[in-house]
Structures are given as structure tokens and as C-alpha cells.
Structure 1
Amino acid sequence: MHWILAAIAVLVASQAVSGWWVPVLAVAVWAGEVLLIILAGRLAGDAGGRQLSVSPGSTSPLPCDKAPRDVAHTSAPSLVPASQAVTTAATTAQPAPEGNGWYLPLDVLGISFNERWPRPGICDTREYFLRGGDRLLLRYAPPADAPPGQSWLCDISGRWRDGGLPCRAIQLNASRFECIPITHDGVYEIGVGQGDPSGAEHGEIEAWLGSDSPDRLAQSNVPQQQSGAAWSCDAAGQWRVHITHESTALDRAAMPERHETSVPRSALVLFDPQHQAWDEAGIADPTTAWQAERRHIFRYYLQLCQGDVLAVEHSWQPSLFGAPIEEQNGVSFTHAELELTQFVRSPTLLSVHTGWSEISKETPRVTLLTCPDDGFFQVELALFGPPSWRTRPSPEFLQLRVWGVRLRRPALVRDFSLVEGWVEDWYRRTIPVPRDALAGRGEPSSA
């Protein structure tokens, strides 16, 4: 830049004078050009970089200390102290953006009295899957008639596969957001302080998520649930399935379902009740004996792999639902529920209900689902209606097709046996048994 200015200065000087005056005038012209450029840049910076003053009616949390994306695990991890935020006379319902910050409302947690759950001093807890480098913002929103200066005690803890955070108490104020940097990917639990037994109105706890990237905020914050099962067969040939664990995956979030207008053309039909038989059709639900005459269950089993993508296409027959049923304690209505859930326990990938009252005509819906784990899954249609429904085919109630969009191992989808067995010691039902368990005959096999 300076060489360009010098060349311009020499050119101007040579045109204006001649002889020994040329270099002297060139230096003067060059110095003047540099001075003008400096003054112009300073004026532009003042015009474009001046920050507006914060009005007394705004609540803007100061940015958290930026937590690194990849943090080394320590033997005794601890939460980074929450940043000190500006205290103002009034409050606002949401955090104001700071710098390159993006904000997403996570939830509004109510404050109540809960005598027995989940732990002393806490009336409610919520879990979120959060990612290292983001910020969690919490604030207490008191009732409208509360006196100024009120606060509420909550706590926060974190869990991930290689470590965790001890539970830490946080006093939340109404005048500012408490900003907590997230240092590790994992599941974080917020505990809401216990309310008064009288049922008095206490207000709410607001939870927000802050990030430097809107793409990160677009990801799911629902922790992935998972369960496990094991099979065994005794000397008498009696099969039994055991629930080995029910937990939350600490290293990943749940994949959200997606609603599409049509099924992808590359998909293949895995199950269609109009052309295939249910594995169990019109049976009573063994877990709800008191409704045995009015609950009618249809089940179909699939063996899936982690990452498999399914499309469930369904359409209810609305004329059958919403009819009143007389009961001893009042009147209920005919209804139905379609679920795709892991055997024997959650997670539930799809749950669609007709509603408790009369429903309007529904068009076919397509839902894309991603399988979270290897194992058995069951498509279950549960009808609540008169005993005569049990002998009627399911297409009279629901048009259904289950499609395989992306399958890692298509040959395994139906590679198992169905036997009559026990779930723990609770009840008997049809259970799917994997091939390796059948080969062992008595040796437990997990899936």
C-alpha cells in the first residue's frame, strides 16, 4: 500500500515541478495521503463499531468463558463457575444475543411440591443431551405478584461415558441468567428445588441453550434411551427373557422422527397386514388383565440393526373410533394406538394415537425412523373396543405398511424363532428368540 502511495506522490510531483524539487514535493504528497487514509479509517470505525448502550429494561447475560470443543478428561471433573452477569432493574423473558451467540429455549420447568420423588429437596428433574462448547442458561421467573429480589435453589449434574460431574447447587435469580459452560458431550440433569406443601404459586425455571453455531442448536437434545434383554432356556425347555438393563445413553442424543409426504422409492415392504399375517393377532394384553375383554393386541416382530432406517405408513379408519363404551365408573370411547418399540422395553420409536373422542378423516401419513440399537423391535396395534373387535382383521381399523429404507443386514430382519415363554417371572407371552440362543439351548444370549 505504501509503495503505491509513493508512486502516486512521485507522479504528482513530477507533473507539478522539475529539478531537485521533485523528491521534496513527492515526500510531502506521500505523507499527506497516509494521513488522510488514517483519518478516514478512524472515522469509519467510530461510525460502524460504536455499541448501543444497554437500556435499563434489558437482561443480557455476559458471555460464558468459551469452553474448548475437546476437553481432556480429568480424574475429578467439576463445573466451570458460572459467569457473573449484569444485574438490571427489570427482567426479560429471553436472553439477548451477545456477539456471535445463538440461543434456543430448552424448556420451562414448573415448581411444585413433590414429597417422594425424585430426591430430597428436589421436586422435578429434566435431562438433556448437551455438547461441549455450548452454554446452558438458567433463570428463575417468579410469579407476577412476588416481591423483588426473590431467588430459587436448583442443582445440576452431568454424566458421560468416561466420567461425570458431581451435583452442584445453583441459586437462580430473576434479574439475570446464570450461564454454565458445557465442557463435555453428555447427559446433564437439572433439578428444580422443592416447592411449598401448601401448593402456593412459586413461578418457573427457564432453561435456554446458547451456542456459537445455529447448526449445533438444530441438533436433538433428547437423551437416547436404551434397554437390553437376555434369553435362557431351562432343562424343561421353558424359555425366559430377562431385562438386563434400562438406561440412558450417555454419549448420544435420540434421533428425531421425520414426517414425509411419501415413502422413498428405493424402500422395500417389510410388513403389510393385507398380505402378511401378524405374529400375534387379536390377543388379550397379559399386562392389563382388568381390560382383557376390551384390549385387543396385534404384534409383528422385526430384528433390526443400529442405524437402520424404516418408514411407517399408516391411515386410520375413523368411523370406528370415538364411539362411547359404558363402564362401571362412567363412559369411555373406542380408540387405538400404533407403536414401534424395542422388545421388551423402551425406547419407543413411534407412538400414534387416534384420540379419546371422535376423530376426523385422516390421510395416510409417512414417518421415517432411525433404529438406535441392535435388537428386536415390535410393531404393536392396540385396539380398545367391544369384544367383537377381536375376530376382525386389522385392515378394518388401520391401513399399515412398514418399509425398509436403509437396512444394514436385511437377512436378519426375520431370522429368529417365535416361542411361548415368560418375561421375567411376570407373565407369559410370545417372545422372539435369536438364532444363537437357540443354538446354545440354555446358554443366555444377549441382544
Structure 2
Amino acid sequence: MRIPKLASVFLLVLCLIVYLTYVKKHIDISTPSDSKDHIQSRNGKDELCHSEVGDLNKSNFLYGIMFDAGSTGTRIHVFKFNKTPNEAPKLAHETFKAIKPGLSPYADDPEKCTAGIQELLNVAKEIVPCDLWKSTPLVLKATAGLRLLPGEKAKQLLDKVKDIFQASPFLSREDCVGIMDGSDEGISAWITVNFLIGSLHGLEQNTVGMLDLGGGSTQITFSPQDEKTIQTSPIDYITSFQMFSNTFSLYSHSYLGLGLMSARLAVFGGIEGMPLEEGKTLLSPCLAPGYEEQWEHAEVVYTIKGQKAGEPIYESCYSKVEKMLYRKVKKAEEVKDMDFYAFSYYYDRAVDIGIIDEKTGGNVKVEDYEAAARKVCKSMETDQGENPFLCLDLTYIAALLQELGFPKDKVLKLARKIDNVETSWALGATFHYIESLHKH
């Protein structure tokens, strides 16, 4: 029996449809859930875009991008948060990358910073899904490195970064770049630490204090429990802010010039930013007898020299440190009864003397720094050792902590990371910025 011509055509078309459906299904299965699309940025250029097609719960996430422009390098933190109704968001993941040098070396030619900033922006583009780019805030905060530059040079650098940010596809407002105030740095680091240990997620705020010792400044931040602290402290030491539907009151102060490198210079008898006259040297009892070298601080080179052998080094050095610190630091009485985390050079010097593990950190007593200072300074009377500044640094740290109100038997927690997240100010500053966006 012959099949009618119309039926033959119909059968052929049906077979073709079945075949194409089969092929399409297999192509869909073999395609990764993460695809690359093109999206147009504000400078009119096409951007290669990472899109999480397979993530059905993408609306439960939000992202924040924070650039930390420090004195030695520029770092990017890309934070991914889980949204939680009526609660503080929870950190799902952090992506981190650092490049050297920082922005400061480009002060005379800001255009040269472009390549490094773009390299870090490409990290963010790989991590943040492209359909969230326009709602993901992009911010750069500069710290000590730019604070030390002349105002106009710092402004030109920041303006260049701002141009790059505003040409990117991310959310960049007029305040997307700026130099961070020392107190803001302390408050943001306090938010980071307390967020990571879970102190900000409940009604009971059993928070910890924060100590940071940088190169140019040092910060102390804590939540006062004693009304007397609030009443007797200088008005600019007390601040309050709202976050996660809570109000936080903090004691926070940044001592500019009392960071470890600035303190070294002050103990040596130098003045910040002022070169010595030709042929002049800085003599110090905190250095080994016979030691003489060139030392650079804030782009000024100094010739420093140890005094001749005589009095014990520790006692002589401690006396110099004590005089330098005289009436420069305010004691906060209640800190002796509070838990504190300490970072930066507090951590580094504890690693140097072997009292904590470099990767995991640990607990240190104030008197541990003092005991190590006595030992190192004593050994320098006969051998200057591998680190000529270690005697001074440890002596200064021990003296500074006691001036801030910490007794010798006070235990401090030292950590670089909590739950695998850097304990820097970046996370806290990102939270603060996202909160400000919601308010507006």
C-alpha cells in the first residue's frame, strides 16, 4: 500500500522535530550553570560577565567590594553575604587579593595606578554575578599611606581611582573613594571582630574590645559598660551609630604618631617628615652599641646610631619610651576587666619572639612583651642580633599597653583571621557602607 505524499512529508517533519528536541536537550545538559555573557558598562564598552544561571536562590545574596589602599599595598575584599530577614546578614564567602606597591608611589603620576586598580576590579567581575553588578557597592578607603601625602597629590590619586570606579559597571557613588579617619578605622575593625565572633547577631551584645598597632597610628575601641567611662572621657572619644537595627555606643580613639614606626622615630629624637641636616645622626640607647645604619620612614632617610656601651639597654630604652609617651595616652580604667583582641604589630612582634604561632595566633599577657623586651635588650649588649629594632619595639609595646590601662597580667587575644576571614577593618567598613545605602 503506497503512503500518500502528504503523509510522507508530515512524517519527515515530525522526525526532524523529535531529532532537534533531542539535540537541544543534550546541549542544555552539557552547558555549565555558570555562563559568560556580555554586559555594557557605563563607559560604553562590552564587559565579559559571570552569571550564576543555576543559582535559584541568588536573591538571597548580596555583595560588597572594598578596596583597602594601605601604605605598602592595595588589597581588594569581595564579600558575599547571606540575607537574613530582620537580622544581620551572614558572611558566606570572602575573596581577597593584594598587589604591591600601594597608591602612594604613584603620587607624581596618578595614571600609572590604573593597571593595578583594573587588575583588582577584574577579580570582582569574576566573583560577582553580572546581574548584581549595578547593585553591588564599590568603595576604596585609603589609610596611613595617603594620609602622609600632601593634600593635592592625595586628591589627584583618589580622583583617578574615582574615574576608574565610575567607568566600571558596579555601584559607585560620589563618596566611593576617600581617606579613612583613624577612628573610623578602629570602629570598622571593632565591627569586623565582633561580627565574626557572633557578638552582633543577638539581643545580648557581649562584645570584645579591639587594639590595633599600625605604622603611623594606634587605635583602641571598645563598648563602655561603665557610665563613668562615658562621662569622664573626652567628647570626641565617644561615638554611637546604628547597625543591624541596634544602636552601638563606642569608646574609640586613634593616636596619630604613636604607631610603631612613628614611635621609633620619636624615641630616636627625630621629627615626622623633617630630614636631618647633612652629617647629623640620631643617637639612641635602644640600639646596640656600635650599630649604625640608614633607616627610612615616611620617605625620609635618617642615619641612626647606638650609643656607646654603658648603662643596661633595657632600662635606658624604657626611660626614653616613657618620656616620649608622657601624657600622650589616656588611660581607660575599665579595659582591665574586658576581653580584647589585638592586631597588626602586636601580632607580628609576638610571632617574632615565638610566643604565638604565625598562622593560628594565640593568647599573650602584657608582661610577656616586657619579659621578651628585657631578654632581647640584654642580648643586644653583646650582639645586635638579626632585628636591630626588636628591643625598642617590644619595650614600646609593653609601655604603651600599660599606659592604655592594661595591667601586666592582662591576657590579650591575637588573631589574623577568625573563621578564615581577615580581621581587618574592611568587613566592618563594608557593612557600614551598605547600611548607609539602605538608609538613603
| TM-score normalised by L of structure 2 | 0.23
**Which protein is richer in strand relative to its size?**
1
Q: Which has the larger radius of gyration?
A: 1
| TM-score normalised by L of structure 1 | 0.23
